[in-house]
Amino acid sequence: MKVEIITTGTELLLGEILNTNVQYLSRKLNSIGFDVLYHTTVGDNPERMQQVLEQAMERADIIITSGGLGPTRGDITKEMVMEVCHTESYLDLDTWGRIDEYFRRKGICQPSENNEKQAYVPIGAEVLQNDVGTAPGLWLEYNGKFFILLPGPPAELMDVCEKQLWPRLLQRFTDHGVIMSRTLHLRGVGESLVASKLDELIQAQTNPTIALYARYGEILIRLTAKAKNEKEAEKMLAAAEKNVRKYVDEYIYGIDDDTLGACLGRLLKEQGKTIAFAESCSGGLASSLVTDVAGSSEYLLGSVVSYTNMAKEKLLHVQADTLEHFSAVSRETACEMAVGVRNLLGSDIGVSITGNAGPGASEGKAVGLVYIAVAMNDVVYCQEHHFMSTRTENKLRIAQTAISMAIDKLLEAKNTEDNN
């Protein structure tokens, strides 16, 4: 079944809010075997919305809308679907009663007159009950097409989907098969090299498919299989992963929801080592990513955000002469920070980050110039990096790079130990 998702709202077109609904819907629909082929966003304009709906009817079997079911004049999705389906509406007393009960639970005496608009249901439609808001979802069949209207607020949309829509879809369409994906996470390699190594596989792909994505500090390889059932899809994905690993296995550090922070944690636990961070321009983000992993207190002893020279001197014992002669953004300062935080917290490994995340030059240092150091086994390693994005993106890339460098040094130490 071909699916088009239509998200409505001028606020989406203006970039005022992030469209998380389409991500949630696409992931879930693909996971249960529906082919999401189109995403469309349209503002609260009757003519353009009608055009979008009519276009969707020509190219999709299932049309899912998000938003435009509220009580205001700008909420026109239901009315425009009724227009293209040539139907009218009636006041559904059960829906009106649930809206009234919702307001009572919220401590509001009664709904306003505007809310009555939400209780009108197109003739022939089925109501998808909304337990966390006032706008019910709707299921309407017309000329072999399926219109599914969902509320816009993410919490309400997910409630309707989890309780009403997904069970109904699976019951209604029992022979569509399943679509399953597996994501391989790679580090220490560029997208172009991965593409080159996998070119033969990508050119020959049919089912499963292979897709590459570049993300902060890593490359993702997504394998997607469509099969009759989950067992068959899993078998297909396992075979595809085996083929991919023949070419890039050395760069793969995790699967699906794995992260660099989780990879670092596994290595630290395997080697029985602890770590501490000293961060300047990244503002504690590297250690935050590490603590996203449950149980990280087993190996992360702490973190120091030494954003000023005073903090570097007093907490990490960076020499004043070092800061004066080389500046805070320097290889020398990074090395002293890494040693300082290791000594301060008594960890096996100290990782430091110092640099200029932007947006302007600082102390004569270019935007994006960053030094990352790792102190372990009485040796200090330091790398110079140049990041060329926005301040926010630079901070995330810097943090990911620092974690990746720590992973490199742990792997190198393990390989040296194994070879001795």
Which of the two residues, 62 and 17, has the higher pLDDT score?
A: 62
Which long-range contacts link 267-271 to residues 24+ away (Cβ below 8 Å)? 267/407, 267/410, 267/411, 267/414, 268/298, 268/299, 268/349, 268/410, 269/298, 269/299, 271/410, 271/413, 271/414
CATH number of 2-172: 3.40.980.10
What is the DSSP annotation of 144-205? TEEEEEE-SSHHHHHHHIIIIIHHHHHHH--SS-EEEEEEEEE-SS-HHHHHHHTHHHHHH-
Phi/psi at 91 (5° precision): -75, 115
Query: Could you give the CA distance from residue 178 to residue 354 in angstroms, rounded to a whole number?
Result: 48
State whether the Cα torsion 250-256-260-261 is positive or negative.
negative
Provide the edge-to-edge strand list for the sheet that holds 349-355. Answer: 300-305, 275-279, 349-355, 369-376, 379-386
Nearest CA-CA partner of 42 in 72, 5, 78: 5
Which pLDDT belongs to residue 176? 67
| pLDDT tens profile 118-174 | 999 999 999 999 998 899 999 999 999 999 999 999 999 999 999 999 999 988 886
Domain map (residue ranges) of the chain: 2-172, 178-255, 260-419
**Residue 215 binned pLDDT confidence (cut-offs 50, 70, 90):** confident
Query: May I ask the CATH architecture of the domain 178-255?
Result: 2-Layer Sandwich (3.30)
pLDDT-above-70 percentage for the chain: 98
Tell me which H or E stretch contains 403.
Answer: helix 391-419
Q: Which of 36-45, 158-167, 210-219 has the lowest mean pLDDT?
A: 210-219
Residue type at position 2: K
Provide the edge-to-edge strand list for the sheet that holds 178-186. Answer: 209-215, 218-227, 178-186, 252-255
Do 61 and 146 form a contact (C-beta atoms < 8 A)? yes
> Which fold would CATH assign to domain 260-419?
Maf protein (3.90.950)
Sequence-distant (≥ 6) Cβ neighbours of residue 127 within 8 angstroms: 92, 94, 95, 121, 136, 137, 138, 139
Query: How much is the average pLDDT of 277-294?
Result: 96
Query: How much is the average pLDDT of 296-324?
Result: 96
Which pLDDT belongs to residue 189? 87
**Residue 359 binned pLDDT confidence (cut-offs 50, 70, 90):** confident
- The answer, yes or no, to whether residue 109 has pLDDT greater than 70, is no
- The answer, yes or no, to whether residue 115 has pLDDT greater than 80, is yes
Do 327 and 355 form a contact (C-beta atoms < 8 A)? no
Phi/psi at 257 (5° precision): -85, 10
- The answer, yes or no, to whether residue 361 has pLDDT greater than 70, is no
Which pLDDT belongs to residue 389? 82
| pLDDT tens profile 228-248 | 888 999 999 999 999 999 999
Confirm whether 2-172 and 260-419 share one CATH topology. Answer: no
The mean predicted confidence, pLDDT, of the chain is 92
